[in-house]
């Protein structure tokens, strides 16, 4: 059969220019790997006079058509078993594979080749460092369609795509690590509650909203009475279990829009916007804490102290509200604990 007619060299040059430009910012945070691969398959299709080009990514025992051009564009998302396919052989052996006549080639999946109208194909593994992650393939409806130069061009393009995928994966790993570190900084690992940094941020915004609206805001400072003796009498496992149980019990008593945070040790805080009856909530927490806790096979009887600061209007900082709540908490402790106090100017 005759070769396909030559496609526009201008289009090939344009796609190649996109690829070369993309190489210069592969490591940038906004690098678009999908756009890069789409340019790569379009460029390779034009350079090789193929009817279509595809980047297939490995997904378990299958190869998935990730980026496609030409006659293969409608097959994005198509899945092909690695076993019994030329793509699979190229992937498993990490070798270049060429079939000049797929219908008479035992290495090829004949049914799949008919589906995509591929009488001949060339397949090159995509390498990210020492790891193979997929293949780059070109096809033609004609037999004996691809020359040695076509295959060499495919190898070069596959190398560029492999480098891009490697940098994209490395960037994704860095982003994941950064996100995990940020989440660890914002949330307490033991209880899953917001930590001090996130609580301060939410308190800041709550104060800002209250100042603009002239509405009431409530800030609670609370801790477990004589918590250190729990760790001394039992062990760290029991103490940690008690903190988790305490956090869960208190969390069930506040509103959906309120924030309960663990600041440090057994120091907890709550910010409540437009509280309806903050005193009733504080009393409910004190009462709920008096009920026994079952932790690590131990039955514990504890109590809690709470300092509550209520404020409406302007001219106050988040730090000042926390200072007032902690002052009220100190007053509750000096009165023997097991209760709550509301901040007053003389405290």
pLDDT at 5: 38
Q: Which CATH class is domain 196-342?
A: alpha beta
Q: Quote the distance between the C-alpha of residue 233 and its chain's center.
A: 41
Answer yes or no: is pLDDT of 277 > 70. Answer: yes
Q: What CA–CA distance (Å, rounded) separates 138 from 128?
A: 20
DSSP line for 28-92: STT--HHHHHHHHHHHHHHHHT-SEEEEEEEETTEEEEEEEEETTGGGTT-EEESTTSHHHHHHH
Q: What confidence category does residue 268 fall into, taking pLDDT thresholds of 50, 70 and 90?
A: very high
CA 50 from centroid of its chain's CA atoms: 38
- The overall average pLDDT reported for the chain is 88
Q: Pull the structure tokens for residue 17.
A: 């220019």
In tens, the pLDDT along 47-60 reads 899 999 999 999 99
Is the pLDDT at 324 greater than 80, yes or no? Answer: yes
pTM over 0.95: no
CATH code at 9-179: 3.30.450.40
- Strands 304-312 and 339-342 come out as parallel
Q: What is the pLDDT of residue 247?
A: 97
Inform me whether the pLDDT recorded for 74 exceeds 80. Answer: yes
Residue ranges covered by each domain of the chain: 9-179, 196-342
Find the range with the poorest average confidence among 90-94, 233-237, 238-242, 330-334.
Answer: 233-237
Cβ 58 vs Cβ 90: under 8 Å: no
Residue 7: is its pLDDT beyond 60?
Answer: no
Which pLDDT score is estimated for 29? Answer: 39
pLDDT in tens, 297-309: 999 999 999 999 9
- Of the pLDDT bands very low, low, confident and very high (cuts 50, 70, 90), residue 33 is confident
Describe the chain by its helix, strand, coil percentages, rounded to 5.
Answer: 45, 25, 30
Measured at the CA of 63, the angle between CA 58 and CA 66, to 5 degrees, comes to 85
Mean per-residue pLDDT for 13-32?
Answer: 55
């Amino acid at each position: 059969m005759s070769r396909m007619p030559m496609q526009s060299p201008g289009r090939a040059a344009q796609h190649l220019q996109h690829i070369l430009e993309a190489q210069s910012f592969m490591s940038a945070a906004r690098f678009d790997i999908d756009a890069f691969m789409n340019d790569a398959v379009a460029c390779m299709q034009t350079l090789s006079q193929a009817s279509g080009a595809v980047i297939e990514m490995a997904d378990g025992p299958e190869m998935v058509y990730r980026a496609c051009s030409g006659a293969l564009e409608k097959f994005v998302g198509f899945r092909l078993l690695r076993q019994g396919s030329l793509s699979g052989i190229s992937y498993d052996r990490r070798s270049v594979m060429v079939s000049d006549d797929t219908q008479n080639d035992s290495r090829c999946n004949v049914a799949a080749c008919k589906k995509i109208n591929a009488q001949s194909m060339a397949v090159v593994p995509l390498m990210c460092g020492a790891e193979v992650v997929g293949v780059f393939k070109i096809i033609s409806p004609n037999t004996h369609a691809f020359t040695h130069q076509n295959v060499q061009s495919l190898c070069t393009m596959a190398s560029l795509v492999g480098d891009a995928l490697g940098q994209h994966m490395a960037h994704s790993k860095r982003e994941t690590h950064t996100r995990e570190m940020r989440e660890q900084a914002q949330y307490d690992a033991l209880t899953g509650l917001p930590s001090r940094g996130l609580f301060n941020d939410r308190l800041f915004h709550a104060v800002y909203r209250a100042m603009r609206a002239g509405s009431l805001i409530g800030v609670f400072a609370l801790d477990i009475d004589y918590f250190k003796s729990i760790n001394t009498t039992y062990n760290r496992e029991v103490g940690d279990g008690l903190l988790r149980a305490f956090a869960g019990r208190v969390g069930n008593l506040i509103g959906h829009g309120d924030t309960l945070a663990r600041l440090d040790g057994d120091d907890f805080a709550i910010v409540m916007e437009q509280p309806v009856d903050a005193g009733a909530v504080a009393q409910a927490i004190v009462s709920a804490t008096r009920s026994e806790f079952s932790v690590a096979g131990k039955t514990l009887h504890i109590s809690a102290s709470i300092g509550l600061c209520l404020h409406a209007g302007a001219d106050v900082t988040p730090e000042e509200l926390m200072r007032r709540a902690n002052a009220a908490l100190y007053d509750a402790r000096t009165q023997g604990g097991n209760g709550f106090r509301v901040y007053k100017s003389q405290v």
